Amino acid sequence: MIAVAEIGGKVVGFGCAQSFRSFCYNGLQGEITELYVAEAARRKGIATSLIFYLEENLKKRGVKSVKVLTGRRNNAAIKTYEQCNYHQDDELLLKKKL
C-alpha cells in the first residue's frame, strides 16, 4: 500500500507498507518499507500522520504488529518511530552482494 501526503496540491511525502503471510510466523505480518517527507515539509507531523495511516490500514487487513527497518544512524527516523511507540529490538540484519 502507498500513502501520499500533499500540501497545497503538491506531494511532500509518501509511505509504503505491505502485509504478507509466512509459514515461519503465525498470522499476517506487516512492514513499513518506505517513509519520506521532503525537507521543507518536515517537523509538521506529516511522517507521524503517514505512519498512523499505514498502521490503520494494516490493522484493517488483520496485521497485529508492524516491523520497520531503518539505518542505525538515521536518528531522525528512529526518533519519529519511537514517538509512534515503536521500540528497537535485538534483531540483526545480515546482507550479501551477489
Residue 66: predicted pLDDT: 95
* pLDDT tens track, the chain, 98 positions: 999 999 999 999 999 999 999 888 888 999 999 999 999 999 999 999 999 999 999 999 999 999 999 998 999 999 999 999 999 998 888 889 99
Residue 34: predicted pLDDT: 97
* Side-chain-facing half-sphere of 12: CA atoms under 13 Å: 17
- Could you tell me the pTM of the whole model? 0.90
Question: Would the CA dihedral through 90, 16, 71, 40 be positive or negative?
Answer: negative
